[in-house]
Structure 1
Amino acid sequence: MRRRTNQPDTPITRAPAGERPNNPQADPNWDPIAIEWFESLFESGQSFFYERSDIAQARYVAEVMSRNLSQGQRVSGQLFASVISAASELLTTEGARRRLGVELTKSPSADMDAGLDELLNSYRDE
């Protein structure tokens, strides 16, 4: 008889999610890159999982990002690593989503590369 060895030692405790807030607005005083990053979070599929605390964290990360970009100085490696780590916790990268078992799918009509699979399959068949 086989037994799974990768099950978590601690059982998962489930709790009801809070009410999903409306998409928050970026601070117009932020650097344009920080604004684009913040707004992109709520246009992405992972925002389905966001709670108010995630939005608060995103706001803080965007604020730090904006302040750093606005200084016009060399970007601190340590600050950059911290911002990327915090962004990863918001599931902004494919790797972060895979580690947590989150897979985002696109509808066929919204997928710009919909014909790519068919093209690759026909190429493989030749």
Structure 2
Amino acid sequence: MPGPVPNRSDDLARPRSRKGGDQQDLKRGTLKPVTVPHADKSWDPIAKRIWDGLKSSGQAEYFQNSDWAFAFSLMDDLSYYKRSGKRSGQMLQTIYTALERLLVTEADRRRLRIELHEPEPETQPASVTAIASYKAELGLDEASNQ
């Protein structure tokens, strides 16, 4: 999406859907099983760090095998660029544009209306819930003791 980076939805006075404007229909597909390749040991340390960041970032939830293949190729190109004696401003700009396509920064994600939020805190630990469930199944819950 061209133009300035949109505000986070939490920062808006009203939802985008109520603002009017051009709402485009969402096209849906089916996620396929994904295999994330291992980083190449010969990559530049910065490329390895970006690769590890991609694997552990929230947007990776949306990545498919083609995205990982593109990222792999890009890390290879970035390593080549970092190691080359003669660096080109045009090549660096091309690499940065490709990184935008992988939604590497928050601004890149917000342009596409993707926001990553903190996970919701658990109200009760899973162990407590499991124990209460077992007690209920065995008829040992507090309600049945009264």
Same fold (TM over 0.5): yes
Residue matched to 1:5: 21
Which ranges of structure 1 fall in alignment gaps of 5 or more residues? 110-126
Q: 1:77 aligns with which of 68, 89, 113?
A: 89
Aligned pair count? 104
Q: Which residue of 2 aligns with 1:40?
A: 53
Answering whether residue 28 of structure 2 is matched by residue 14 of structure 1, we say yes
Q: TM (normalized to structure 2)?
A: 0.64
Give the TM-score, by structure 1 length.
0.74
Percent identical: 34
Contact map agreement 1:25 1:39 (CA 8 A) in 2: no
Q: Which has the higher contact order (CA 8 A, sep 6+)?
A: 2
Asked whether the 8 Å contact 2:34–2:65 carries over to 1, the reply is yes
User: 1:3, CA displacement in angstroms?
Assistant: 8.5
Cα drift, residue 54 of structure 1: 0.3
User: Which of 49-58 and 96-105 deviates more?
Assistant: 96-105
Which runs of 5 or more structure 2 residues have no equivalent in the other structure?
A: 1-17, 122-146
**CA 1:7–1:59 in 2, change beyond 3 Å: closer, same or farther?**
same
- Specify whether residues 70 and 20 from structure 1 end up closer, same or farther in structure 2 by C-alpha distance, changes over 3 A only: same
Moved beyond 6 Å, runs of 4+:
none
Could you say if the C-alpha distance between residues 53 and 3 of structure 1 is closer, same or farther in structure 2, counting changes exceeding 3 Å? same
Q: Answer yes or no: is 1:89 the counterpart of 2:105.
A: no
2:72 to 33, 52, 59: 59
Q: CA deviation at 1:13?
A: 2.6
Whichever of the two has the greater Rg, that structure is 2
1:49 to partner: Cα distance: 0.4
Deviation at 1:4, TM superposition (A): 2.8
TM-superposed CA distance for 1:107, in Å, is: 4.0
Check conservation: 2:71, 2:102, Cα contact below 8 A. yes
Equivalent residue, structure 1, for 2:81: 68
